[in-house]
Amino acid sequence: MTPTLPAFRAPSAPERLFNRAYGFLVGLGLGLSHSYLLQVRGRKSGRIYSTPIDLLELNGKRFLVAPRGRTQWVRNAETAGEVILKRGRTRQSFRLRPLSDAEKPAILKAYLDAFRREVQRYFPVPAGSPPQAFAELAQSYPAFELLPL
């Protein structure tokens, strides 16, 4: 049975406040080693938007996963085709390669296992579940491989 997940799981007011404060710290170069400030150009306004993200590094590759679903950053990134990861003074530009639903189960499993404390509440399966448990969920979670520009 496929769980029905909303297309977008909006953050609460306290989560928005935390994201803003944590994003500021990450932008200064503080925070956890896997935390980056994702910067992407708005698809309508052209303005640069920033949000803190957890970057999954697996087998020498970098992956972005959107545990909240099709968020604004996902829609903007899909339109722009590229993003910038910022941490302190360092900025790196990447092209996005959307993952197919067939590729996602292993990436979603690795992401949830690595960041369970931060993202378990967005997944209907527990951390440590086998990749097959993510197959039915794959379409609900946008995921991208980051390719250097």
Distances (CA, A) of 111 to 47, 54, 93: 29, 9, 21
The two beta strands, 90-98 and 82-87, are antiparallel
* Order of strands, sheet of 82-87, starting from the edge strand that comes earlier in the sequence: 48-54, 35-41, 82-87, 90-98, 143-148, 61-65, 56-58
In sequence order, what are the beta bridge partners of 86?
37, 91
* pTM for the structure as a whole: 0.90
| Cβ pair 16, 22 in contact under 8 A | no
Mapped onto helix, strand or coil, the DSSP state of residue 54 is strand
pLDDT of residue 130: 97
Strand, helix or coil at 19?
Answer: helix
**pLDDT value for 4:** 59
| Gap between the Cα atoms of 122 and 68, Å rounded | 6
pLDDT at 90: 96
Per-residue pLDDT at 1: 45
pLDDT at site 81: 94
Q: What is the pLDDT of residues 88-116, one digit of tens each?
A: 999 999 999 999 999 999 999 999 999 99
Would you call 72 helix, strand, or coil by DSSP? helix
The segments of the chain whose pLDDT lies below 50 read 1-2
Structural domains in the chain plus CATH codes: 13-148 (2.30.110.10)
